[in-house]
Structure 1
Amino acid sequence: MEKRINIFAKGQGAMKAMFGLGAYLAKSNLEESLLNLISFRVSQINGCCYCLDMHSKDLRARGESEQRLYLLNAWREAPVYSDRERAAFAWAEAVTKIEGGQVPDEIYQDAIKQFSEEELIDLTLAVITINGYNRVNIAFPNKVGNYQPGQFAVHN
């Protein structure tokens, strides 16, 4: 593969805008573990190796079980996730996989039972944010495997 632009070195202004979304989400009422699980699941859908490496390490460092990580791709059948997590996964998938247009009413109804209006807006922003990071990392790949847990935890 031909050497690509180092987005973190050459695109600092663009990345600062992206980091601002992360800083906002870090102050939201959504659980950090849920945000990381959503980032991991969306990265699975998008095939973003760098983000999968990052979020799996962050999740493990914060005590997430291996079983829950291994089963995330089959969350509908796996009994290890809460109703809140399941609603978040369905929401994240519907917002990520946009081939059908709007999020189906059934998924919205399940989500609004588990999340306040503000939380659902923030969950949507979290899905948008990780989709953006996935696309940045797919366009300008970073070396996978060097990420250290918490490396990008705080961005102001």
Structure 2
Amino acid sequence: MSHARKDYPDFKALAPDIYERVLALSQLSGKAGLDKDLMELVKIRASQINGCAFCVQFHILEAERIGVSADKLNLVVVWREAPLFSARERAALAWTEALTLVSAGVSDEVYAQASAEFSEKELVYLCSAIAVINVWNRFGVAYAWTPPARIARS
């Protein structure tokens, strides 16, 4: 798609109540103490799977802003083959893929891996973060939101 059907600012103006509620849900994982770097990797991976160009770019830019390494950003799409991801990151990325591709189910192995790295409370908030990025992805893909431009830094 070469043009947006309705861009992100238009969506915010058209449905501010939906925007505010989804945004509020988006912020809960950070308030629960989940690592910001990890959350950006999760959001990027789900957005890659869902083909949401806006969200991939948005979260890459956010990850760069908070200092996530370029290597991780470049390799998150092939995280299984890249040794630089920690066990916790691997568990979160596997959990992200399972919940994003939920029709395939969540294996006991993926659940055990996630449960080994995250407390029960953290895992609930991680589920919430994955669910909400999937919500954003649905809007971004449905309306073909234009990816945000990289802002030149001087």
Output the TM-score relative to the length of structure 1: 0.88
Aligned-pair distance for 1:24? 1.7
Aligned-pair distance for 1:139? 1.3
Structure with greater helix percent? 2
Of the structure 1 ranges 84-93 and 4-13, higher mean CA displacement relative to structure 2 is found in 4-13
1:19 and 1:58 map into 2 onto residues whose CA distance is: 15
Aligned length: 147
Aligned-pair distance for 1:125? 0.4
In the alignment, structure 1 segments of 5+ residues that lack a partner are 149-156
Amino acid aligned to 1:88: A
Q: CA RMSD in A?
A: 1.6
Match of 2:148 among 137, 145, 149: 145
1:5-154 alignment runs, 5 A limit: 6-101=10-105, 103-146=106-149
Structure 1 runs (4+) deviating above 4 angstroms are: none
Amino acid aligned to 1:75: W
Aligned-pair distance for 1:2? 7.2
In the alignment, structure 2 segments of 5+ residues that lack a partner are none
2:69 and 2:118 map into 1 onto residues whose CA distance is: 24
Is the Cα–Cα contact under 8 Å of residues 75 and 81 in structure 1 kept in the other structure? yes
2:93 and 2:40 map into 1 onto residues whose CA distance is: 11
Is the Cα–Cα contact under 8 Å of residues 54 and 147 in structure 1 kept in the other structure? no
Aligned-pair distance for 1:69? 0.9
